[in-house]
Amino acid sequence: MFYDYVKINVKAGDGGNGAVAFRREKYVPAGGPSGGDGGRGGDVVLVVDPNLRTLIDYHYKKHYKAERGEHGRGKDQHGRDGADLILRVPPGTVVRDAAGAFCVDMVKPGQRLVVARGGKGGRGNARFVTPQMRAPRFAERGDPGEERWLELELKLLAEVGLVGFPNAGKSSLLRRISSARPKVASYPFTTLEPHLGLVKIGEDDSFVVADLPGLIEGAHDGHGLGHRFLRHVERTRVLIHVVDTAGTEGRDPREDVRVINRELELYNPDLAARPMVIAANKMDLPGAAENLALLRREFPQVKIYPISALNGTGVDPLLHEVYSILKATGEAEPEVGEPEVRFVTAPEERGYRIEVKDGVFEVSGKGVELLVARLDLENPDALRYFHHILSRIGLEETLREKGIRPGDVVRIKGFEFEWQD
């Protein structure tokens, strides 16, 4: 099997918790708070590895988790940050957040994408000392690491695609023009997965050709090996349509061309518009010459190259034509430059919203929700700090403006408290 689509779950490391600790030293009568901060959780990072060709590794394992941050300790010792988890993917992997947050095409070797951010470490109690609170007996919890489902889809990076019916001779042609060694046999669907071959033109020019499993009528709808492999044609810039000109299986080569063109169009209309040349194959067999003439009459607008993948006749002119089309439509190959880092996470949201329902003041917003998640509000010191922050960000004032009265309930992310003036 060739794995070109997988769905995986990634979870960044949670932040470590801050510590609550106090110094107990000789000669320091009332030791100050000394709880260290928790470490940051590791990120999950995808990196393009040019040595990979498929997504098979991700087929067997679905869940990936980066290391969590260490908890803070006494004596102001901070927890160690969690290590990032690096996931290698082949060039041409399209990474999609299953919930639709982003879609990134990973093509350049070394290109990196952070797909889940580690949680921030919680601050230790040493950080909450104020003149009003000299010995805080609380610390923050670490933030949870991000978690999401990703869809990875591999679309091979080949400039030229070989399409055609099973047994037309696509693999034979690839063997003839490159050092790739796809299997060749006289039964249909010999090729079950795409193969790439590097075709050399002259001294230092080359292009990559993909040999794809054969198509049949209804492929776009899942017949035969179906459209599963057509996604690999999407990125190619030129198609070589390989036809069994000798009609060795009793079909009319003209009908073969029509059927395949229709399948391409039904799968993706862009494909029908892609530059295409016809490789009229098996010219060494009887009947091929007559059929070639019929093909030329039927498709005068298409360049048709008579070839024999078996003995190599006609292959060079075909390759030169393909090469000159590539040159003419010249889009630079993805250059290997600076590895690219793109962060996908939205910056932390500021502000909050207040909704009043049945005497309950429901407050939402990332900042206040994080505040609730980070603190143990059963702890009286933490609760004091919490109210201090609410007043500092102007929330208490806003609630008063909204007409809150003693006895009303304020709710933030499941945490409720009664309002007192």
Ligand X SMILES: Nc1nc2c(ncn2[C@@H]2O[C@H](COP(=O)(O)OP(=O)(O)OP(=O)(O)O)[C@@H](O)[C@H]2O)c(=O)[nH]1
Q: Residue 291 interacts with ligand X (CB under 6 A)?
A: no
Residues binding ligand X: number (CB under 6 A):
24
Q: Minimum CB separation from Mg ion for residue 314, in Å?
A: 19
Rounded to the nearest 5°, which phi and psi values hold at 342?
-130, 125
Q: Mind giving me the DSSP string for 21-58?
A: -B---TT-SSPPB-PPPPPPPPPEEEEE-TT----THH
Which of 57, 96, 102, 190 touches Mg ion by CB under 5 A? 190
The residues facing 206 across adjacent strands are 200
Question: Contacts with ligand X in 168-187 (CB under 6 A)?
Answer: 168-172, 184-186
Distant-in-sequence, close-in-space partners of 231: CB < 8 Å, separation ≥ 6: 4, 153, 155
Contact (CB, 8 A) for 22 and 33:
yes
Q: Min. distance of Cβ 71 from ligand X in angstroms?
A: 57
For CA atoms 228, 230, 232, 234, the dihedral sign is negative
Q: Which positions from 205 through 264 interact with ligand X, judged by CB under 6 A?
A: 213-214
Stretch that binds Mg ion, among 42-50, 99-107, 167-175, 254-262 (CB under 5 A): 167-175
284 binds ligand X (CB under 6 A): yes
H helix or E strand, kind and range, residue 271: helix 269-272
* List 191, 236, 281, 308, residue binding Mg ion (CB under 5 A): 191
Q: Which is nearer to ligand X, 119 or 164 (CB)?
A: 164
Binding-site member from 171, 236, 245, 261 for Mg ion (CB under 5 A): 171
409 is written with which tokens? Answer: 């309930």
Residue from 54, 111, 125, 191 binding ligand X (CB under 6 A): 191
Closest CB to ligand X: residue number: 214
Helix, strand, or coil (residue 1): coil
Q: Which of 109, 188, 218, 226 binds ligand X (CB under 6 A)?
A: 188
Residue range at the interface with Mg ion (CB under 5 A); choices 137-145, 147-155, 164-172, 307-315: 164-172
Which phi-psi region, left, alpha or beta, contains residue 308 (left: φ > 0; alpha: ψ -120 to 50)?
beta
Measured CA distances, 407 to 361, 384, 386, 417, 418 (Å): 11, 19, 19, 9, 6
Which CB atom, from 190 or from 398, has the smaller least distance to Mg ion?
190
* Residues 293-322, interacting with ligand X (CB under 6 A): 308-310
Residues that bind ligand X (CB under 6 A): 164, 166-172, 184-186, 188-191, 213-214, 281-282, 284-285, 308-310
